[in-house]
Amino acid sequence: MLTYSAPLRDMRFVYEELLQGGELQSLPGMEDVSPELLGAVLEEAARFCEKVLLPLNQSGDQEGCRFENGQVFTPKGYREAYRQYMEGGWPSLSCDPAYGGQGLPHMLHCMVGEMICSTNLSFAIYSELTHGVYELLHQYGTDELKSLYLPPLAEGRWSGTMCLTEPQCGTDLGLIRTRAVLQEDGSYQLNGGKIFISAGEHDLTENIIHMVLARTPDAPPGTKGISLFLVPKIVPQADGAPGPANGVECVSIEHKMGIRASSTCTLSFNNAKGWLIGKENQGLRAMFLMMNRARLWVGLQGLGLAETGYQNAVHYARERLQGRALKGPVKPDKPADPIIVHPDVRRMLLTMRAYNEGMRAMSVWAAARLDHSERQTDRKTRQEAEDFIALITPVIKAFFTDLGFEATNLAIQVYGGHGYITENGIEQLVRDARIGQLYEGTNGIQALDLIGRKLPAHAGRHLRTFFQPLEAYLNKRRNHPHLAPMVGAVAKAFGRLQRASVQIALKGMQDPDEGAAVAYDYLQLFGLVALGWMWLRMSETALAKLENDPQGFYKAKIATARFYMEKILPRSGSLFSSIMAGAPAITEFETDRF
């Protein structure tokens, strides 16, 4: 059985000490969001996750979802947990008060999200998709649709899905075939099939609201002819009371490597009634809002699972007695020393720790910037925050899920053979983590997004929001008496990132393969530097507080930073070499010889 204790101390360090509350209180509507308030909510969330969600994680994985006659039943205990989740008001945390929300910041939502992902990723999928649909509808829906659908979504009484994938159409949405025909009453009639729909059918909520991409009859081919529709499982009446069942049918559910308590459905739309969201043929733009938010959240899944992996690995490494420390027994009174004495085990634990705390700082910072991007009144500052989010989204999605997979895998390694045994629960983390690298756009696609869209746009304007402040930060601390060595290490990696960026921009302009072939390396390099900066900032904050450090929290922070700088960041060198070597080794290999 896995154990978990929410990292509240570290979260507080990040949002309060490192980020000064994300400077959110200067934003309109956020005046009351004090660190005290955040702390109180997080404690509540921790209790819910530790006591309610975690105990269902392994049983849910073993039982899985059950499909019977078009209906899906979630594993034992999920309905009850979901009821408590609703009663606690969790679904509406960062929703708009005008439509049933509590108006709290994304920054808070992000930390709660990490805890939910740590304790029960399958459960998280039901709840988080609903939030994505809420935001999408909030931005693009008509007032009528908004007042009918948003409050029950905020309440959690209704849940949501995103329906993109079809059998012939995964990454390439231009191939969508589902048809939507305008009806006399202004609604549309949808016909077609969708696959891999998370939470497409289940027994947790009264209604399920599907966001469906489809084509109208005279739509131009390709991605320019795709429209977005709201299709409810049950068509609500004007007052929100349940109306007739809609033509949406769950045909089957998938058997999967992980997230087994989450239902992954094949849906069939048969003359289903739907409503257009946004304008015809502009569905992708709207859907991308939801998808981009979802990508940030998938990044959190990597962090959440890695945190649970780390905690359990530490626990195991302390308890498991095997052999002796190489320099002589540490616990001579025991039959053997705990394996935590071994440098290689410590290497693995520190790697996980350095990843997790770095990712946490990065994700909370990004979430705070997301709040700024929505609420800033100054146009330029808002634009900068938007640029930053656009830039960092593919990095967070891909880099964090890669690290999440690596970290959970290391957790198994710490367990040795016991990690491979289902009963111990640790292997579930790896299986659950694996999906993050695949859905919401594979990590390869994220890398292409980074180099193909984000990097060249407006001659690199998005990059400015990361590169210029980092350069200024490093420049100011070059001669810092205590930080200087770390500043040097990050500056070195950053220099590589800068030069790699120019290399890709120049070469990629002439040959798209040149960019594409090194995109993955570039994203990894970007992620390493981003976490490097986070570790530098955390060290600076911790350094100032070393004098009052009874628990050794700050000392450990600085020690972990050192590990990151000396043991992880140097990977930037090999990534840089690979990027500069360019595409030929990849593109010139004859396809027939594979």
Burial 59-91 (b: 16+ CB within 10 A, else e): ebbebbbebeeeebbbbebbeebbeebbeeebb
* Binding test (CB under 8 A) with another protein, winner from 1, 484, 502, 581: 502
Min. distance of Cβ 227 from another protein in angstroms?
14
In sign, the C-alpha dihedral spanning 12, 16, 17, 21 is positive
Asked if 471 is part of the footprint of another protein (rule: CB under 8 A), the reply reads yes
For the CB of residue 391, give the shortest distance to another protein in the complex, in Å. Answer: 11
Greatest Cα pair distance in the chain: 84
Q: Is 461 in the site for another protein (CB under 8 A)?
A: yes
- Shortest Å distance, C-beta 465 to another protein: 9
How many residues belong to the site for another protein (CB under 8 A)? 24
Kindly state whether residue 459 participates in binding another protein, applying the rule CB under 8 A.
Answer: yes
Helix, strand, or coil (residue 237) = coil
Q: 465: left (phi > 0), else alpha (psi -120 to 50), else beta?
A: alpha
Q: Is 2 helix (H, G, I), strand (E, B) or coil?
A: coil
Candidate ranges 302-310, 452-460, 483-491, 540-548; the one touching another protein (CB under 8 A): 452-460
DSSP state of 278: S
Q: Which stretch binds another protein (CB under 8 A): 222-230, 249-257, 343-351, 416-424?
A: 222-230
| CB contact at 8 A, 279 and 182 | no
Is the CB of 65 or the CB of 391 nearer to another protein? Answer: 391
Q: Contact between 225 and another protein (CB under 8 A)?
A: yes
CB nearer another protein, residue 220 or residue 343: 220
Name which position in 460, 512, 513, 546 contacts another protein (CB under 8 A): 460
Q: How far is the CB of 513 from another protein (least distance, A)?
A: 15
Residue 220 found at the interface with another protein (CB under 8 A): yes
CB 366 within 8 A of CB 114: no
In whole angstroms, give the CA distance from residue 132 to residue 141: 13
Residue closer to another protein (CB basis): 556 or 583: 583
Going from the C-alpha of 293 to that of each of 50, 77, 203, the distances in angstroms are 25, 29, 25
Query: With binding defined as CB under 8 A, does residue 458 bind another protein?
Result: yes
Active-site position among 440, 471, 540, 547: 440
Applying CB under 8 A, which of residues 70, 167, 222, 323 lies at the interface with another protein? Answer: 222
State the nearest-atom distance from the C-beta of 387 to another protein, in Å. Answer: 10
| Active-site annotation holds for 440 | yes
Minimum distance from residue 472 beta carbon to another protein (Å): 8
Using alpha carbons only, how large is the chain's radius of gyration in Å? 24
Say how far apart CA 135 and CA 110 lie, in whole Å: 15
Q: Tell me: does residue 238 bind another protein (CB under 8 A).
A: no
Half-sphere exposure of 35 (CA within 13 A, CB side): 15
Residue choice 467, 482, 553, 562 for contact with another protein (CB under 8 A): 467
CB neighbour class for 183 (10 Å; exposed up to 12, middle 13-18, buried from 19): exposed
506 binds another protein, rule: CB under 8 A: yes
Min dist. Cβ of residue 285 to another protein (A)? 12
Which of residues 464, 480, 492, 562 is near another protein by CB under 8 A? 464
Give the Å distances, CA to CA, from 213 to 169, 233, 236, 287, 556. 11, 16, 21, 8, 49
Q: Is 221 in the site for another protein (CB under 8 A)?
A: yes
Work out how close the CB of 468 gets to another protein at its nearest, in angstroms, rounded to a whole number.
Answer: 5
Extended strands (E) in 38-98: 66-68, 71-73
Sign of CA dihedral 207, 118, 312, 395: positive
| Cα separation, 221 vs 229, whole angstroms | 18
Contact assessment for residue 100 and residue 150, using Cβ atoms and an 8 Å cutoff: yes
Told to check if 505 binds another protein by CB under 8 A, we report yes
Smaller CB separation from another protein, 312 or 524 = 524
CA distances from 18 to 352, 356, 384, 488, 534 (A): 21, 16, 21, 21, 9
Assess 463 for contact with another protein (CB under 8 A): yes
Nearer of residues 192 and 225 to another protein, judged by Cβ: 225
> Under the criterion CB under 8 A, does residue 379 sit at the interface with another protein?
no
CB of 576 to another protein, least distance (A): 14
Q: Is 498 in the site for another protein (CB under 8 A)?
A: yes
From residue 290 to residue 329, the character string flagging contacts with another protein as x (rule: CB under 8 A) and all else as - is ----------------------------------------
Tell me the angle at which helices 512-543 and 343-375 cross, rounded to the nearest 10 degrees: 100
Query: How far are the Cα atoms of 30, 100, 209 from residue 135, in angstroms, in the given order?
Result: 18, 12, 13
Q: Tell whether residue 468 is a contact of another protein (CB under 8 A).
A: yes
- Taking CB under 8 A as the criterion, the residue among 224, 318, 453, 476 binding another protein is 224
* Catalytic residue ranges: 440
What does the binding site for another protein look like in residue numbers (CB under 8 A)?
Answer: 220-222, 224-225, 458-464, 467-468, 470-472, 498-499, 501-502, 505-506, 510
